[in-house]
Structures are given as structure tokens and as C-alpha cells.
Amino acid sequence: MKYVLSLSLLCCLILFSCKTQEAPQTKTETPDTKAEAQLVGSKWVLTKLNGDILNLSNTELEQPFIKLTAKDRGVGGNGGCNAFGGTFRLKDNQNIEFSQMLATMKYCDDNGIESVFMGNIHKAASYIIVNNELTFKDENGYVLATFEIAVENKK
């Protein structure tokens, strides 16, 4: 009997003496709220692609644009012919990541503009907003796309 009682006491001591390890604190992402406030909710019209001024005069394309929404962290827009949508995530230091991107698949004679634009959205790693101009850059700092805030959003 003493043996069973001693064994039970020993098991209880071992069980309760084990310290549980606290979960490591994860760094919360705190994007630049001023830049985020301007970025999210505004319609941004594409003006430059890979640093070159966008020229749609010889195409049947509409003006490409992008719009990010805060509620569902959704992104939507038009590449000039096809509508697209997906999600985005803002990180520290004005870094951004787009994912789950989908687009309609209408045939358009766009001289490759739309496919380059959509590819560049996927490559975007950071953004900067200066004087109502939004620029997406890749992970090496190369300018992918430049947008101007749509007239209806200018204050």
C-alpha cells in the first residue's frame, strides 16, 4: 500500500512540477497607418508600367486600375480588358503581398499590356505613396507599376 501511495505521490509531483512553456510572442504587423489609409479605399489608375508611360491609344483597352478594400482585405480592378480580384496583406515598412488572384478570361488585343500589368501585381513586394501617386516595387526595389489616385478620390 505504501508503495502505491508513494508511486501516486511521485507521479503527482512529476506532473505538477513540469513547467508549461509559454507560446512565443509573435510580432504584430503594424503597417504605416497614414499610407494605409490612403492606399486602401481609393481607386488607383495605372499611369506607368515598368517605368514607361502607359499608352493605350493603339489598343481597345479601358484604363487599368486597382482598388484595395479594408473590410475583407480584398483587391479588385481591371487590367484593361479583364476584371480581377484577390486578397492582399500589408506588412511593416510599406511591404505588401497579393494572393489568391483570379481574373476573367476575355480575349483582348492588348499588346501584352494586361499580362505584364497582372504579372507585376503578383511580383509587388512594397509600395510607396507620394503626392497622390502609388508605386509598386518588386523585392529588389525595381518599379513595377505607378498609379495616380482617381479623380473621384482626390481631395
For residue 22, is pLDDT > 80?
Answer: no
Tell me, yes or no, whether 2 lies in a domain.
no
Whether residue 42 lies inside any domain: the answer is: yes
Confidence tier at 31 by pLDDT (50, 70, 90) = very low
Indicate the SS3 state at residue 135: strand
Question: Considering the domain boundaries, does residue 18 fall inside one?
Answer: no
Least-confidence region, from 19-28, 37-46, 128-137: 19-28
- For the chain, the residue count is 155
The answer as to whether 93 is a domain residue is yes
Residue 14 is assigned to a structural domain of this protein: no
**Which residue, 75, 151, 73, 66, is CA-closest to 114?**
66
pLDDT digits (tens, 9 = 90+) for 92-103: 889 999 999 999
Structural domain of 73: 30-149
Predicted confidence at residue 75, as pLDDT, reads: 97
For residues 29, 33, 39, 42, the Cα torsion angle rounded to the nearest 10 degrees is 130
Does 19 reside within a domain?
Answer: no
Q: What is the CATH number of the domain that holds 116?
A: 2.40.128.270
HSE (side-chain half, CA atoms, 13 Å) at 59: 18
How many domains does the chain divide into? 1
Q: Residue 155: inside a domain, yes or no?
A: no
pLDDT in tens, 46-94: 999 999 999 888 888 899 999 999 889 999 999 999 999 999 999 888 9
In a domain, 4, yes or no: no
Residues 145-155 pLDDT 10s = 999 999 875 55
Averaged over 123-129, what is the pLDDT? 96
Predicted confidence at residue 116, as pLDDT, reads 95
